[in-house]
Structure 1
Amino acid sequence: MKHYLSALILTLGLSANISHATIVEFQTSHGNFKVNLHDETTPKTVENFLAYVNDGKYDNTIIHRTVDDFVVQGGGAKFEGELPPEWIETNGTIENEPVYSNVTATISMAKQKGKINSANSQWFINLKNNASTLDPIDVYGGGAYAVFGEVIEDGMDVVNAIAEVPRCNTGHGGFQELPMPDYEDQCGDTNAVPSQENFVTIYQVVIYDATVSTDADLTSTKNTLYEKSLEQPKSGGSSGGSFGWLSLMLCALPLLRKK
Structure 2
Amino acid sequence: MIKTILTISTAALMSFHAAATVVEIRTNMGNISVNLFDQDTPETVENFLEYVNSGAYANNVIHRLEPGFVVQGGGFTYNNVLPLDNVATGTPVTNEPELSNVRGTIAMAKLANDPNSATSQWFINLDDNSQNLDVQNGGFTVFGQVIDDGMTIVDEISELPRFNLGGAASSIPLIDYTAADASNGVEPDENNFVLITDIVVTDAAAETNPDLNPVPNTLIDSSGGGDPTPPSSGGSSGGSLNPLALLFVALSVVAFRRRVKA
Where in structure 2 are the equivalents of 1:87-102 lying within 5 Å?
Answer: 87-102=86-101
Distance of 2:189 and 2:45 partners within structure 1: 32
Is it true that 1:180 corresponds to 2:153 in the alignment? no
- Alignment correspondent of 2:224: 230
1:196 match: secondary structure = coil
Distance of 1:182 and 1:78 partners within structure 2: 19
- Alignment correspondent of 1:207: 201
Aligned-residue CA RMSD (Å):
1.6
Q: TM-score, normalised by structure 2?
A: 0.76
Q: Taking every aligned residue pair, what percent have the same amino acid on both sides?
A: 46
- Alignment correspondent of 2:190: 196
1:218 match: secondary structure = coil
- Alignment correspondent of 2:211: 217
Q: What's the CA shift string for 1:76-122, capped at 9, x where partnerless? A: 10122333211110112010000100000000000000000000000
Structure 2 counterpart of 1:225, which letter? Answer: L
1:197 match: secondary structure = coil
- Alignment correspondent of 2:61: 62
Distance of 1:21 and 1:133 partners within structure 2: 26
1:174 match: secondary structure = helix
- Alignment correspondent of 2:51: 52
* Conservation of the 8 A alpha-carbon contact between 2:20 and 2:39: no
Distance 1:231 1:26, change over 3 A: closer
- Alignment correspondent of 1:153: 148
- Alignment correspondent of 1:250: none
Structure 1 counterpart of 2:182, which letter? Answer: C
- Alignment correspondent of 2:15: none
Deviation of 1:189 (Å): 3.3
Gaps of 5+ in 1: 1-19, 233-259
Q: TM-score, normalised by structure 1?
A: 0.76
2:43 match: secondary structure = helix
- Equivalences, count: 207
Is it true that 1:165 corresponds to 2:160 in the alignment? yes
* Structure 1 runs of 4+ with >3 Å offset: none
| Structure showing greater Rg | 2
Distance of 1:96 and 1:213 partners within structure 2: 24
Distance of 1:31 and 1:152 partners within structure 2: 13
Structure 2 counterpart of 1:39, which letter? Answer: D
* Conservation of the 8 A alpha-carbon contact between 1:82 and 1:194: no
Where in structure 2 are the equivalents of 1:5-20 lying within 5 Å?
Answer: none
Distance of 2:215 and 2:117 partners within structure 1: 23
